[in-house]
A and B are shown apart, each in its own frame.
Chain A
Amino acid sequence: MPSVLSTSISGMIAFQRALETTGHNIANVHTPGYSRQVTEFSAREGQGVRNGYIGAGVQISSIKRAYDQILGNQLQTSTTSHARFDSLNELSSRLDSLVANPETGLNAQLQSFFNSVQDIANNPASLPTRQALLGEADSLVSRFAEMDRQIDDLDSEINLRISAAVSDINQLATAIADLNDKISLGRAATGAPPNDLLDQRDLLVRDLARLVPVDTVEQSDGKLNVFIGSGQSLVVGIESRALTTQGSEFDPSRLEVAYQNVSGNSVLDNRLSGGMLGGMLEFRNEMLDPTRQALGRTARAVAQSFNEQQAAGMDLNGNLGSAFFGIDDPAITYSNRNSGSGTAGASVSNLGAVTGGDYLLSYDGAAYSLSRADNGATVAMTGSGTAGDPFIADGISIVTAGAPDAGDRIKISPVSGGSGSISRTLSDAQGIAMAAPTRTLAANSNIGDAAISPSEIVDRNDSDLLTSAVIQFTGPGTYSINGAGSFAYTSGEAITVNGSEFSISGTPQTGDQFTLEANYGAPGDNRNGLKLANVQSVGVLDGGSTSINASYGQVVGSVGSATRQAQVNFEAQSVVLANAEGAQLAKSGVNLDEEAANLVKYQQAYQAVAQVVSVANTMFDTLINATRR
C-alpha cells in the first residue's frame, strides 16, 4: 500500500516536471537559439516479491534539448558564407553606384570636357569659350577628387568595421570561454547537460561564425574549443585569446587583423576567407584597391596625354603650350620592417605600358628586383637605377638612392593616387594651345602649281622647331632647304624640317619657294585643338589599344560585374541559409500546438496519478475502519 502512494507520487512529480518543461518551451517560443526541451521518462526499478516484480512508478531519465549537431554545423557554415556575401554585396553595390551612376560617374563629365575642347576648336579665338573649358576642367578634376574621396571614405569605413569586428570577436571569445567553464561545472554537478547554457553557447558560436569562419571541437567535459583562420586557437577550454588590429606593412593607416603569438603578431588577413570580416577584406583587396588604381590610371591618362598634346601646340600668346593638368608622381611607400636607408623615386615614362597594379621593389643584399604586389610575379627591369640610367619596367622609371639592407622592400604605386591628385595647373585661358606651332606658305611669286600641305609636328622637342626654313626649288625635280643641299622632289612625299613635317604636291617650277615658319599671331588656328579634342578617343593605354573613354568603361564594367556576382552569390547564400535555418528549426524549434497537446497530455496524466493517490487513501481508510472495533 505505501508503494501505491509512492508510485503515484513519483508520477505526480514526473508530470509536474514535464509540465514545467512544456511551460519553459512555451515561454521560449521566440527566444533566439533556443532548442525545445524534451522530458524523457523511464520506469523506476520494481520491487521483487515472490511471484514477480511490482513496479515502483516513473522517473525522469533526462531532460534533453532537441538538437542535431550536423544541422548545427551546417547552419554555422552557411552563416559564415552568407555573412561574407552580405558584406561583399552591400559594399560593392555602394562602389557600383559611385562609379557607374550617370549622375555621379565620370563619363558625363569627361564627355562635356572634351565637347568643350571641340567648341574652342570651332572658335579658337573666343576667350569666353576658352574660359568655359577651364571651368569644365575644374568640374572634371573635382569629379575625380570626389570619387577618390568617396573611395577613401569606404576605405576608412572598412577600417572602422574591422576594428569593431575584431573587438566583437574578442568579446565573443571571452563569453564562450566563460560558458565553457559554467557548462563543465554544471555537467560535473548534475551529470546532466545544462541545456540552456549549451543553447547560449551555440548562439555565441553562430554570432562568431557570422564574423569569421570558425572550426569547433568539443572536449569530453563539454568544453568547446574554437579555432579560426588556418587553425589558430581562439578559445581553448576556459581560456580565450585576443585578436588585434595593426597598421599594414606599407601603410600604417590601413588596418590588418593580427593574431597575438608568443613570438609577436602574425597577420591573419589572407587566412580569413569568409564571414563578414573576410567579405570586407575581400572587398578591400579585390574591388576597392583595383578600382582606385583603375580610376587613377584613367586620371593619369587624361592628365598626361592631354598635357602632351598641349605641349605640341601653340597658345594665343605665341608660346608652346604649358601643362594643363598636374598629377602627382607615383606614390612610394617603405616597409615598416626596412632597416636600411634605401629610397626610391618613380615617374611614369611610358603611359601606354602602365598596368595599374602596385609593385614591390625588393633588395636582396646585392641588387634590387621588382615584382607585382598583387600576385608576386617577377617583373623584368632594365637599367641600373641611377638618375642617368633608371630602372625601367612596365612604363615606370625608378631611381634609387641610399643604402638598403638585404630584405628591405619598397612599394611603388604608379597610379593609385592619380584620381586624388589630378589638378588643373593652367590658369590663363589664353594658354590653351589650340594652334599648331608652325605653319607653311607658298611664295606669292611661285610660277608652278605646286601646293604645300599644312605642317604637322613630329618632334616638338626639336630645338629649331620655331625657326623658319625655306624650301627653294633649284630645278623642277630638286630643291634646297635654307639654300643648302639638293634633294630630289617627289610630289606628295613627306618632308621633315625642324621637327615639322609637310608635303609639297603638284608641279613646282625652278625658283618656286615654300616657307615653314613659327605660327605666331594666328588666333584662328585650331589644328592642335582638333588633336586635343581627339585625345579622348585615341588609344593611349595598354600599348595604344585602350582610350581614356574605354579605360573608364573598363572600371564601370568590372565593378558592375563583380557587384552582380556578389549579388547573385548573396541571393544564393540567402536561400542556403534559409534552408539551413529551416532544417535546424524544424528539429529544435518550439511548436505551440505540439506544446499545447503535451500540456493536455501531462495534465491528464497528472490528474490520473492524483486519482491513484485518492484510491490509496480510500484503501487506507477502508483498512482503518476495518480494524477500529
Chain B
Amino acid sequence: MRISTGSSFQRGVSMMQQLQQALDRTQQQISSGRRILTPSDDPIASARTVELRETLSRLEQFERNGEIARNRLSFEETALVSVNDTLQRVRELSILANNDTQSPESRRLIAGELRERVDQLVQIANQRDGGGRYLFSGNRDGTAPVTTSGGAFSYNGDQGQRLIQIAEDRQIPDSDSGANVFFHIKDGNGTFSSSAAAGNAGTGILTAGSVTDSSQYDRDSYTVSFTASNSYDVIDSTGSIISSSAFTPGDTVAFRGIEFAISGEPAGGDEFNIEPSRNRDMFSGILDLATALEKPVTDDKSRAALHNDVNNALQNIDQAIGKVLDVRTQVGTRLNAIENQAENNASFELTLQTTLAGIEDLDYAEALSLLSQQASTLEAAQATFARTQGLSLFNYL
C-alpha cells in the first residue's frame, strides 16, 4: 500500500494526540481520586451515585433529627426523675402524717412542706427545653402548661405529641403532653375511688380496695350505707338496694366485682361512697391532703376522717407515681429506639459510603500502572515519529 507523506505525518500527530488525551485523563483521575470524571463516563454508575448521595444526605438528616429528639427526651427524663423524687417525698410525708403519734404542730409542718412540694411540682411541669420551649405543653409549646388560680390547677397546652422522623419509615415522639403526665391521673385505685361521707359519726376507716372481677364491675356509683353498726346495705345510683349484709369491724365489703375493707367502728347512718375513678391532676390531691392535715384532730371521729383523707391521698399519689413511671418507661424505650436507629443508620451509612467509593473511587494501583504504560507508549510514539519523519530520499540526493 502507498503511504502518502502527508497522511503518515498526520497519523503520527493524531496518534500522539490520542495518547496525550488518554494520559491526561488518567492524570486527572489520579489527581481527583475519582474514576468517573463526567457523568457520561458511566451514566448508569453516575445515576446510582446520585441516588446514593441523596440517601446519604437523608441519613445524615435523620441522624440530626435523632439527636434533637434524644436531647428533648433527655430533658423530659430529667424532669420526670425530679417529679418522681418529689412524689416519693410526698408519699413519705403522707405516711408520716398518718401516724397517730403526730402532734397538731408536726402535722402543720408536714402540711407546709406538702404545699411547697406542690409548688415544686408545678415548677417542674413548667420547665423548658434547651430551645426555650415548654416541655409539657404538647404542641402549644410557647405557653406555660400549668397555671394556678385559687387552688385550682389548669392545663393550657394541648394533647398533641410531636413526632420526629428518625429513619425513612420511623417517627418517634419527642415529648409527652402535660395533660397525660400531670392531669389525666385516675384517682382511687385507678378503677374506682372510695370515700367516707363527711358527716360520719362512727370511726370506720376505708382501706384500699381492689377489683376482683372486672366483668361484673359496671362503673356505677354506689353507697355503702350502715343501717346499724353491725349491718349495711349497698345502694346503687338509682337508690335500689343491691345487697345487705351483717358487719363486724375489719370485714371485707364485696359487690359487683369489687371489694374493700372497713376497719374501725362505723355508726348506724354512716355512709361510704364508691365512685368510678376520675381524672385528677397531680397537684390538687396533695393540696387537699395539706388542708386535711391542718384540721384539728379532737376525737376518734375526726381521727378516722383524717385517716380516710390520708389513705385517699396516698392512693392518688401512688397513681401519680405509677403514671410517672409509665411515662418514664416510654421515654426510656424511645431513647433506646433512637440509640438503635442511630446505630442502624451509622452502619447503613457505612455500607452506602463503601458502595459509593466502590463506584466512584479510583483503583490507584490500576491507574498508576496504566499511567506508566501510557507514558511509555507516548514516549515510544514520539521517538518513532521523530525517527520516521527524518527518513527521506531527498537526504541522499
Give chain B residues whose Cβ lies under 8 Å from the Cβ of A125: 133, 141-142
Give chain A residues whose Cβ lies under 8 Å from the Cβ of B46: 100, 556, 560
Q: Is A101 an interface residue (CB 8 A)?
A: yes
Give chain A residues whose Cβ lies under 8 Å from the Cβ of B138: 522, 524
1/0 per residue A80-121: CB within 8 Å of B? 000000000000110011001110010110011001001101
1/0 per residue B175-217: CB within 8 Å of A? 0000100011000000000000000000000000000000000
Identify the closest chain A residue to B141 (Cβ).
A524
Q: How far is the CA of A125 from the CA of B160 in the complex (A)?
A: 15
Contact call B43/A560, Cβ cutoff below 8 A: yes
Interface positions of A from 543 to 584, Cβ below 8 Å from B: 549, 553, 556-557, 559-561, 563-564, 567, 578, 581-582
Q: Is A413 an interface residue (CB 8 A)?
A: no
* Interface size class, chain B: 35 or more
Q: How far is the CA of A384 from the CA of B5 in the complex (A)?
A: 74
Out of B155, B165, B277, name the residue touching A447 (CB < 8 Å): B277
Q: How far is the CA of A594 from the CA of B46 in the complex (A)?
A: 53
Q: How far is the CA of A526 from the CA of B133 in the complex (A)?
A: 14
Q: How far is the CA of A586 from the CA of B5 in the complex (A)?
A: 9
Interface positions of A from 581 to 625, Cβ below 8 Å from B: 581-582, 585-594, 596-597, 599-600
Contact call A563/B43, Cβ cutoff below 8 A: yes
Contact call B50/A589, Cβ cutoff below 8 A: no
- Interface-side segment among A44-52, A131-139, A438-446: A438-446
Give chain A residues whose Cβ lies under 8 Å from the Cβ of B1: 586
Contact call A526/B163, Cβ cutoff below 8 A: yes
Q: How far is the CA of A251 from the CA of B143 in the complex (A)?
A: 59
Contact call A524/B139, Cβ cutoff below 8 A: yes
Contact call B139/A519, Cβ cutoff below 8 A: yes
Give chain A residues whose Cβ lies under 8 Å from the Cβ of B161: 454
Contact call A126/B140, Cβ cutoff below 8 A: no
Q: Is A525 an interface residue (CB 8 A)?
A: yes
Contact call A107/B53, Cβ cutoff below 8 A: yes
Contact call A560/B40, Cβ cutoff below 8 A: yes
Q: How far is the CA of A118 from the CA of B64 in the complex (A)?
A: 10
Q: Is A521 an interface residue (CB 8 A)?
A: yes
Shortest B390–chain A CB gap in Å is 12
Give chain A residues whose Cβ lies under 8 Å from the Cβ of B295: none
Q: Is A59 an interface residue (CB 8 A)?
A: no
Identify the closest chain A residue to B391 (Cβ).
A593
Tell whether A107 pairs with B184 under 8 Å between CB atoms, given A527-B163, A530-B171, A585-B4: no
Q: How far is the CA of A467 from the CA of B277 in the complex (A)?
A: 31
Q: How far is the CA of A67 from the CA of B3 in the complex (A)?
A: 15
Q: Is A123 an interface residue (CB 8 A)?
A: yes
Give chain A residues whose Cβ lies under 8 Å from the Cβ of B139: 435, 439, 519, 522-525
Q: Is B92 an interface residue (CB 8 A)?
A: no
Chain A contact residues, majority secondary structure: helix
Out of B51, B142, B277, name the residue touching A524 (CB < 8 Å): B142
Shortest A290–chain B CB gap in Å is 15
Q: How far is the CA of A523 from the CA of B57 in the complex (A)?
A: 27
Q: How far is the CA of A111 from the CA of B163 in the complex (A)?
A: 21
Contact call A587/B2, Cβ cutoff below 8 A: yes
Q: Is A287 an interface residue (CB 8 A)?
A: no
Give chain B residues whose Cβ lies under 8 Å from the Cβ of A599: 397
Interface positions of B from 1 to 42, Cβ below 8 Å from A: 1-7, 11, 14, 38-40
Interface positions of A from 435 to 468, Cβ below 8 Å from B: 435, 439-442, 444-447, 454
What total of chain A residues lie within 8 Å of the partner, measured CB to CB?
A: 73
Q: How far is the CA of A116 from the CA of B302 in the complex (A)?
A: 65
Contact call A445/B279, Cβ cutoff below 8 A: yes
Shortest A592–chain B CB gap in Å is 5
Give chain B residues whose Cβ lies under 8 Å from the Cβ of A97: 38-39
Contact call B158/A441, Cβ cutoff below 8 A: yes
Q: Is A122 an interface residue (CB 8 A)?
A: yes
Q: Is A509 an interface residue (CB 8 A)?
A: yes
Out of A107, A123, A447, A530, name the residue touching B278 (CB < 8 Å): A447
Contact call B39/A586, Cβ cutoff below 8 A: no
Identify the closest chain B residue to A124 (Cβ).
B162
1/0 per residue B33-76: CB within 8 Å of A? 00000111001101100110110011001001100110000000
Identify the closest chain A residue to B392 (Cβ).
A592
Contact call B279/A589, Cβ cutoff below 8 A: no
Q: Is A373 an interface residue (CB 8 A)?
A: no
Give chain B residues whose Cβ lies under 8 Å from the Cβ of A523: 139-142
Contact call B393/A597, Cβ cutoff below 8 A: yes
Give chain B residues whose Cβ lies under 8 Å from the Cβ of A509: 219, 276
Interface positions of B from 281 to 301, Cβ below 8 Å from A: none
Q: How far is the CA of A121 from the CA of B131 in the complex (A)?
A: 14
Give chain B residues whose Cβ lies under 8 Å from the Cβ of A92: 40
Contact call B57/A524, Cβ cutoff below 8 A: no
Shortest B229–chain A CB gap in Å is 33
Scoring B4, B11, B184, B397 by chain A CB atoms within 10 A of each residue's CB, the highest score goes to B4
Contact call A447/B219, Cβ cutoff below 8 A: yes
Contact call A439/B50, Cβ cutoff below 8 A: no
Q: Is B225 an interface residue (CB 8 A)?
A: no
Out of A29, A107, A454, A563, name the residue touching B160 (CB < 8 Å): A454
Contact call A524/B50, Cβ cutoff below 8 A: no
Give chain B residues whose Cβ lies under 8 Å from the Cβ of A563: 39-40, 43
Give chain A residues whose Cβ lies under 8 Å from the Cβ of B142: 125, 521, 523-524
Q: Is A337 an interface residue (CB 8 A)?
A: no
Shortest A79–chain B CB gap in Å is 15
Contact call A524/B163, Cβ cutoff below 8 A: no
Contact call B47/A560, Cβ cutoff below 8 A: yes
Q: How far is the CA of A281 from the CA of B58 in the complex (A)?
A: 40
Q: Is B137 an interface residue (CB 8 A)?
A: yes
Contact call B133/A115, Cβ cutoff below 8 A: no
Give chain B residues whose Cβ lies under 8 Å from the Cβ of A586: 1-4, 7
Out of B3, B38, B158, B184, name the residue touching A444 (CB < 8 Å): B184
Tell whether A439 pairs with B160 under 8 Å between CB atoms, given A524-B138, A556-B47, A585-B6: yes
Give chain A residues whose Cβ lies under 8 Å from the Cβ of B393: 592-593, 596-597
Interface positions of A from 462 to 494, Cβ below 8 Å from B: none
Contact call B392/A123, Cβ cutoff below 8 A: no
Identify the closest chain B residue to A560 (Cβ).
B43
Q: How far is the CA of A36 from the CA of B4 in the complex (A)?
A: 10
Q: Is B359 an interface residue (CB 8 A)?
A: no
Shortest A441–chain B CB gap in Å is 4
Give chain B residues whose Cβ lies under 8 Å from the Cβ of A585: 4, 6-7
Give chain B residues whose Cβ lies under 8 Å from the Cβ of A446: 279
Q: How far is the CA of A509 from the CA of B277 in the complex (A)?
A: 12
Contact call A447/B39, Cβ cutoff below 8 A: no
Q: Is A361 an interface residue (CB 8 A)?
A: no
Q: Is B164 an interface residue (CB 8 A)?
A: yes
Out of B2, B6, B141, B278, name the residue touching A445 (CB < 8 Å): B278
Shortest A547–chain B CB gap in Å is 10
1/0 per residue B291-320: CB within 8 Å of A? 000000000000000000000000000000
Q: Is A533 an interface residue (CB 8 A)?
A: yes
Contact call A444/B5, Cβ cutoff below 8 A: no
Contact call B47/A557, Cβ cutoff below 8 A: yes
20 A-B contacts (beta carbon < 8 Å): A29-B6, A96-B39, A100-B50, A111-B57, A121-B164, A122-B68, A439-B159, A447-B276, A509-B219, A523-B139, A525-B139, A530-B171, A557-B44, A560-B40, A560-B47, A561-B43, A567-B40, A581-B7, A585-B4, A587-B2
Would you list the 10 A-B pairs with minimal beta carbon distance, nearest first? A589-B4, A560-B43, A524-B141, A100-B39, A525-B139, A522-B139, A596-B393, A585-B7, A563-B40, A524-B139
Chain A contacts to B: CB under 8 angstroms: 29-30, 36, 92-93, 96-97, 100-102, 105, 107-108, 111-112, 115, 118-119, 121-126, 435, 439-442, 444-447, 454, 509, 519, 521-527, 530, 533, 537, 549, 553, 556-557, 559-561, 563-564, 567, 578, 581-582, 585-594, 596-597, 599-600
Instruction: Using A522-B160, A589-B4 as known contacts, list a sample of 19 further A-B pairs with CB atoms less than 8 Å apart, ordered by residue number in A.
Output: A36-B4, A96-B39, A111-B53, A118-B64, A119-B64, A121-B165, A122-B69, A446-B279, A522-B158, A525-B162, A527-B160, A561-B43, A563-B40, A567-B40, A582-B11, A585-B4, A589-B5, A590-B6, A592-B393
